[in-house]
Structure 1
């Protein structure tokens, strides 16, 4: 993203986070004349130990000098999680582990990782890159979600599929939670790879073509590993409950392995065994 887009993303993020914090949460009086939810700008400035003018400029997305120590104070005032802090620092300081666009050659799953996910016989597993492109999966994932082999490689983006494939909309009972989890991961990448223009192009396309995408994206959730419990209504297996575990794959490629573990005290694993037969 360019500087203007980066500062606009920072502005929106700060406003959203400020709206989530009530005065009572930070030990301030609630008052009786609040027109908007959450803290006022001057209250955040007070908690962070900066001037109201300076914080206002930061929240407006102006180009100003920002230090890591002051950002840490603001993060504490807004009670940000670790992932949200990283996102704040990436946008405000334009720092990232890599700012170069992803190579056009798609990432590949090495044989050892492919063997690992295949051994997870009754645990659907999907491997995706930092753009949420699906680059690997096991048979259980094909049986529960889609036969990804039948989808052209350039169309195997998990976020796009969640909005374009009716099979996935029908599958997930709590579809919005499903999507929200992926978008929280996507936003973490969006903040980390600030130099990759692909993200803005993809976001513009999704907002233009899918109004529901904009609503969920504007929640501004950030998480490198959201914990989500998913309820599926599978056409053949019926009701299935999964807990999502998201693991970072260390190596030269920024890959993530999403494993859907059958929920304990449910019949999901038994249904998966029957489905795999």
Structure 2
């Protein structure tokens, strides 16, 4: 067993339990039965649906270091009704396929955005945009983002972690009408990266820090989905501009730095774009 396998297998165990608890017997085409002490499917029911032995599945869910094939994972993913992003997360954890990117070997270096990407950010005048790396460290933003969220330039470089700011800055907690929905979108992205780079010990250290510092972080983390690019509608109550509605689109920046661009597009048939333009002209 390699040094980093326990973290990977613990994450796999937690994920399988969470997904199993989300599915009702009726949704899986099974009789409801009685005397269910916990919500969702039982282990033996997942095994039955996947066509594997109950003992083998129990070992997998317990995080034991056992041999797993892609075909069996396909069957388990089908039994647990996983999305495409959740399947990738399952395979990365179970097949120990994470951390293969060249960026994983230079994780502590600060990525830089290209001049072309910097121009794109500037051109998105009334669309707040933030560029972050796989650790949710903010590496770039445009003027609109500084007006709607925070002036990131005033935040020390080592503190510019998007998730940390969402949980620590009162301005951001007040900004989103449904703050938990807002935070969960970024947690879904972070979980997708966590599955891919679970061997990077920074992730586990960051999770421990956030759990210890913010009681609501752990509950949201346990409930979070896995999504590489969630598209959601966010309602903000800006201190100066009032009610604003945005569509969040998350785009992967091609290259070896694993950057992501989160773009908030003003919702059509609202006054959001006009309000933002006025805010930026003051």
Separation (CA, whole Å) in 2 of partners of 1:193 and 1:34: 36
Residue 191 of structure 1 aligns to a residue in which SS? helix
Query: Is the contact made by 2:20 and 2:41 (CA closer than 8 Å) also made in structure 1?
Result: yes
1:222 is displaced (CA, Å) by 0.5
From 206, 209, 213, the counterpart of 1:209:
213
Q: Give the RMSD, CA atoms, in angstroms.
A: 1.2
Q: Which residue of 2 aligns with 1:78?
A: 80
Q: Which residue of 1 aligns with 2:107?
A: 103
Query: Is the contact made by 1:102 and 1:196 (CA closer than 8 Å) also made in structure 2?
Result: no
Runs of 4+ in 1 over 2 A off after TM superposition: 96-105
Q: Which residue of 1 aligns with 2:278?
A: 274
Q: Which residue of 2 aligns with 1:26?
A: 28
Are 2:252 and 1:239 equivalent residues in the alignment?
no
* TM-superposition CA deviations, 1:71-100 (whole Å, max 9, x none): 000000000001000000011111024283
Residue 33 of structure 2 aligns to a residue in which SS? coil
Residue 62 of structure 1 aligns to a residue in which SS? coil
Q: Which residue of 2 aligns with 1:192?
A: 196
* TM-superposition CA deviations, 1:110-132 (whole Å, max 9, x none): 11001001101000000000000
Q: Which residue of 2 aligns with 1:51?
A: 53
The range that moved more, 148-157 or 33-42, is 33-42
1:194 is displaced (CA, Å) by 2.3
Separation (CA, whole Å) in 2 of partners of 1:84 and 1:212: 23
From 170, 176, 190, the counterpart of 2:174:
170
The range that moved more, 123-132 or 224-233, is 224-233
Separation (CA, whole Å) in 2 of partners of 1:104 and 1:84: 27
The range that moved more, 91-100 or 103-112, is 91-100
Query: Is the contact made by 1:231 and 1:239 (CA closer than 8 Å) also made in structure 2?
Result: yes
Q: Which residue of 1 aligns with 2:155?
A: 151
Query: Is the contact made by 1:188 and 1:224 (CA closer than 8 Å) also made in structure 2?
Result: yes
Change (3 A) 1:59 1:41: same
Are 2:28 and 1:2 equivalent residues in the alignment?
no
Q: TM-score, structure 1 length as denominator?
A: 0.97
Separation (CA, whole Å) in 1 of partners of 2:86 and 2:260: 19
Query: Is the contact made by 2:251 and 2:260 (CA closer than 8 Å) also made in structure 1?
Result: yes
